[in-house]
Amino acid sequence: MPRSSGFNQRIRANICPRCGRPSEDGGLCGACRAAQIRWFSCPARIISTCCPTCGARKEAGLWVETATSPKDLACDLVRQKINIIPEVVNPGISIRVHETGSNRSVADCRMSGTLFGEPVEGSCQVGIVWQKEQCDRCNRMSGNYHEGVVQVRADGRKPLPWEVRKARGIARDTEEGLAASGERLSFIAEMEETRDGLDITIGSQRIGHEIATAIVRAMGGRFTTHPKLVGERAGKRLFRITYLVRLPKYSRGDIVMVHGRYAEVQGTDGHDVRVSDVELGQQRTFPEKKIGALVGNVRDAVEYLVTFREGDAVGILDPVTGESTECRVGPGMQVGPGDSVRVLRTAGGLLLLG
Ligand SMILES: [Zn+2]
Ligand SMILES: [Zn+2]
């Protein structure tokens, strides 16, 4: 039977010499070729170094911030180190990490894919050593390292409470922004309210400059820098820089005395100040030098409840202590029992703002 013998000859010619199963060209079949090749490699052990204080991770000698949990981190690290040759189609790696000691873990890894048309599977174990080391940032912070200070002051006066609050907020936001962009050493070492204003001690000159710039952008005024030589390290001169921020003399919402009356600052152009009379609501403009004492700012006012009104006298209730006080109101103020009014505590007593 010539047809059938020809068919048998073709089969015999195209079989794998190792396993006897069919092969495409008479050479090793896909399964035998796949079995011969080392298609993946795993490291025996990896070391992961983390800061015990802040959780930052050391990567190739550099500290980086990480938000990943240690277990996910271990999986990522192991995955990065497993190498699968490019001939493998649809490679997959599954990893399970379990602890074997206080600073040791083991990752069980399973690899799969398709090689020379044959499904392949393999497994390996990778040891993980968890090392603890204090990072550069925590090291500097615990060692009271700093490169300067931002001093928040105001022109001819002490910064008001709202200005100190706002400057603090701006400083924290700046620190967060820099940390998020990888500026690890741009930290705030300390923030302290002093007799003259707010002192922000900083870990780098970069953050000092950014905080001073951001405060002036948001609150007006200007800043100057004052370097001071503090020593030398490895032939380099070391400076600490004071960033002196001067907030403007008056800003919107300030309560000032003008000709013996309370007035709220609406705006200033550096020479003239536009104000409105607190009691009467009248708007007027005065040269800056005619403006008297700065009493406070509406941002520091507190809401009080009005309990009664008799002519130009009202009773108001302190929201914290519950204490009742009688106050005079201006004729321009439309307040009655049940209303709430903004009250500013001044050196001269309570001032109703309406
Ligand atoms: Zn074979
Ligand atoms: Zn740290």
- More confident site: 30 or 208: 208
pLDDT tens for residues 47-56?
989 998 888 8
62 Cα–ligand 2 center, Å: 12
CB atoms within 10 A of CB 285: 14
pLDDT tens for residues 243-269?
999 998 888 899 999 999 999 999 887
20 Cα–ligand 1 center, Å: 6
pLDDT at 95 over 80: yes
pLDDT tens for residues 124-138?
999 999 999 999 999
Which amino acid, residue 170?
I
Which amino acid, residue 184?
R
For residue 6, what pLDDT band results from cuts at 50, 70 and 90? very low
25 contacts 117 by C-beta, under 8 angstroms:
no
Question: Residue ranges of the domains in the chain?
Answer: 1-36, 37-140, 144-247, 250-295, 301-354
Q: How many residues does the chain have?
A: 354
pLDDT at 30 over 50: yes
52 contacts 59 by C-beta, under 8 angstroms:
no
Q: Give the lowest-confidence range in 8-17, 47-56, 316-325, 330-339.
A: 8-17
**From the CA of 35, which ligand is nearest?**
1
146 contacts 189 by C-beta, under 8 angstroms:
yes
Minimal CA–CA distance to 123: which of 96, 141, 99?
96
pLDDT at 67 over 90: no
The CATH number of 250-295 is 2.30.30.360
Q: How confident is the prediction for the chain on average, in pLDDT?
A: 89
For residue 14, what pLDDT band results from cuts at 50, 70 and 90? confident
53 Cα–ligand 2 center, Å: 5
**From the CA of 33, which ligand is nearest?**
1
10 Cα–ligand 1 center, Å: 17
Task: Return the DSSP state at 119.
Answer: E
CB atoms within 10 A of CB 208: 28
Gap between the Cα atoms of 127 and 45, Å rounded? 4
Sort strands 148-154 and 236-247 into parallel, antiparallel or unpaired: parallel
pLDDT at 2 over 50: no
341 contacts 316 by C-beta, under 8 angstroms:
yes
Please check whether the domain covering 301-354 is classified as CATH 3.90.120.
no
Gap between the Cα atoms of 160 and 350, Å rounded? 17
The residues facing 332 across adjacent strands are none
Minimal CA–CA distance to 133: which of 205, 188, 62, 197?
62
* Residue ranges with CB less than 5 Å from ion ligand 2: 51, 53-54, 56, 135, 138
Share of the chain above pLDDT 70, in %: 96
